[in-house]
């Protein structure tokens, strides 16, 4: 009888200790993998989110930059980590939804537990100030009926390349894509007349001295209220943006995911975060776990189909 009571007490104690351990997550520092170099666009917005996440979770988050191969080295490392909530990633759309269709990587849409989406910046069609292309009407007239123009952007498979391909497909444009190493190099070619058009973040117009002629979004953006969408201009509706979100490896327990998701949502609503994002001229576009998962899977499939249509899918 005493033995039975002892076992019962032991079992109850173990159960209570397990519940306590779960309730105390996180008990140690977290690591956040950023799959690009320190100081880059992905790293910049990740580090804006870190202080607020630390405050919400009550622990330190160590940023680990793992650059290379379009972000796939960092994403691959994240996918292989133990799904215990102590290693998460701050990932961009290209790494998560285009690269798996372009190269052999050890992850796909099922490799993740999406935590939250934090940023979604609109892409636009950019030209040089002295370009003969002053509007989408000009672009269509000059890149159809046997006339080919040159577009430029980062290496194939990047979001600027995807956006350009989607635009060309939708309008029936004949564009030759010229890869560059980064936005600055593309802007230099555009300003120098080596290429004719560039699809990238609308904010790069001010950054590089370019001109926006149309937004690749479903509605006007608050930061660019005078920039019409392609649909408003009488063309097809396009929706191409560069977004960033937090992910955990597949299999991360539901209770830990709930804590991470709540921390992200609470952080994204704080005045400090909103002000920092405004100062950085980035667009807050929060999505919670369930909504973000649905959005992410749809983006993964859409971008895979587009890459297949333009003959790039592996």
* 284 pLDDT more than 80: yes
Q: Residues 146, 293: one domain?
A: no
Higher pLDDT, 240 or 14: 240
Query: How many structural domains is the chain composed of?
Result: 2
Residue with the bigger pLDDT between 158 and 124: it is: 124
pLDDT for 5 beyond 50: no
Residue 185 lies inside a defined structural domain of this protein = yes
Residues 17 and 161 in one domain: no
Per-residue confidence (pLDDT) for residue 7, from 0 to 100: 47
Q: Is 62 exposed, middle or buried (0-12, 13-18, 19+ CB in 10 A)?
A: exposed
Q: What is the pLDDT of residues 238-282, one digit of tens each?
A: 988 889 999 999 999 999 999 999 999 999 999 999 999 988 878
Residue at 236 is within a domain: no
My answer on whether 104 and 127 are in the same domain is no
pLDDT higher for 108 or 15? Answer: 108
Residue ending a domain, choose from 215, 233, 265: 215
Using CA atoms, how far apart are residues 81 and 248, in angstroms rounded to an integer? 9
Contact 280, 62 (CB under 8 A): no
In the numeric block, the tokens 């002295």 are attached to 130
Asked if residue 179 lies in contact with residue 153, where contact means CB atoms within 8 angstroms, the answer is yes
Task: Specify if 225 maps to a domain.
Answer: no
Kindly state whether residues 301 and 252 are assigned to the same domain: yes
Task: Please give the residue range of the domain that contains residue 22.
Answer: 6-120+243-309
Assigned domain for 48 exists: yes
- 176 φ, ψ (degrees, to nearest 5): -100, 120
Do residue 116 and residue 12 come from a single domain? yes
Region for residue 68 given its phi and psi (left: phi exceeds 0; alpha: psi -120 to 50; beta: otherwise): left
Model pTM above 0.85: no
- Residue 22: the pLDDT is 46
CATH of the domain at 72: 3.40.190.150
Query: Does residue 226 lie in a domain region?
Result: no
Is the residue at 237 inside a domain?
no
Position 23 scores a pLDDT of 55
Q: What element of type H or E holds 201? A: strand 197-201
**Please, what is the average pLDDT of the chain?**
90
Whether 184 and 110 share a structural domain: no
∠ CA 42-266-57, nearest 5°, is 80
Residue 233: the pLDDT is: 96
287 shares a domain with 274? yes
pLDDT mean over 106-125:
95
Where does a domain end: 161, 196, 215?
Answer: 215
Residue 158 resides in a domain = yes
Q: Can you read off the two tokens belonging to residue 78?
A: 């994240």
Percent over 70 (pLDDT), the chain: 92
The Cβ of residue 20 has, within 10 Å, a number of other Cβ atoms equal to: 9
Do residues 190 and 248 both lie within one domain? no
Residues 139-152 pLDDT 10s: 999 999 889 999 99
212 and 227 in contact (C-beta within 8 Å)? yes
Question: Is residue 32 scored above 90 in pLDDT?
Answer: yes
Q: Does some domain include residue 233?
A: no
Express each pLDDT in 177-215 by its tens digit: 998 877 788 999 999 999 999 999 888 898 899 999 999
Co-location of 279 and 130 in the same domain: no
Percent of the residues in the chain that have a pLDDT greater than 90, as a whole number = 67
The answer to which of 17-21, 99-103, 215-219 has the lowest mean pLDDT is: 17-21
Ramachandran class of 274: left when φ > 0, alpha when ψ lies in -120 to 50, beta otherwise:
alpha
Instruction: Say whether both 150 and 128 belong to one domain.
Output: yes
Residue-level pLDDT at 201: 87
Residues 50 and 82 in one domain: yes
Per the model's pLDDT, the better-predicted residue between 251 and 67 turns out to be: 251
The CATH number assigned to the domain holding 166 equals 3.40.190.10
- Indicate if 116 and 35 belong to the same structural domain: yes
């Amino acid at each position: 009888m005493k033995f039975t009571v002892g076992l019962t007490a032991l079992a109850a104690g173990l159960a209570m200790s397990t519940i306590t351990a779960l309730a105390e997550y996180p008990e140690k520092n977290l690591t956040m993998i950023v799959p690009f170099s320190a100081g880059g666009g992905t790293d910049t917005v990740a580090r804006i989110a870190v202080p607020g996440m630390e405050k919400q979770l009550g622990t330190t988050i160590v940023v680990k930059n793992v650059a290379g191969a379009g972000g796939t080295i960092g994403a691959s490392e994240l996918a292989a980590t133990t799904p215990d909530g102590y290693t998460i990633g701050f990932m961009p759309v290209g790494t998560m939804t285009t690269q798996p269709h372009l190269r052999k990587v050890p992850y796909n849409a099922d490799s993740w537990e999406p935590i939250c989406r934090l940023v979604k910046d609109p892409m636009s069609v950019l030209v040089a100030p002295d370009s003969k292309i002053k509007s989408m009407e000009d672009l269509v007239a000059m890149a159809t009926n046997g006339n080919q123009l040159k577009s430029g952007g980062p290496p194939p498979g990047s979001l600027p390349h995807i956006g350009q391909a989607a635009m060309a497909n939708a309008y029936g444009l004949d564009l030759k894509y010229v890869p560059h190493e980064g936005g600055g190099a593309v802007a230099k070619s555009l300003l120098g007349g080596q290429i004719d058009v560039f699809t990238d973040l609308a904010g790069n117009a001010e950054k590089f001295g370019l001109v926006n002629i149309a937004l690749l979004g479903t509605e006007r953006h608050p930061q660019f209220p005078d920039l019409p969408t392609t649909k408003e201009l009488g063309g097809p509706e396009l929706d191409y943006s560069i977004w960033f979100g937090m992910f955990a490896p597949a299999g991360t327990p539901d209770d830990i995911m709930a804590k991470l998701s709540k921390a992200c949502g609470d952080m994204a609503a704080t005045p400090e975060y909103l002000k920092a994002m405004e100062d950085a001229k980035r667009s807050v576009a929060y999505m919670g776990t369930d909504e973000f998962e649905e959005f992410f899977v749809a983006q993964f499939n859409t971008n895979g189909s587009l890459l297949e249509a333009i003959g790039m899918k592996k």
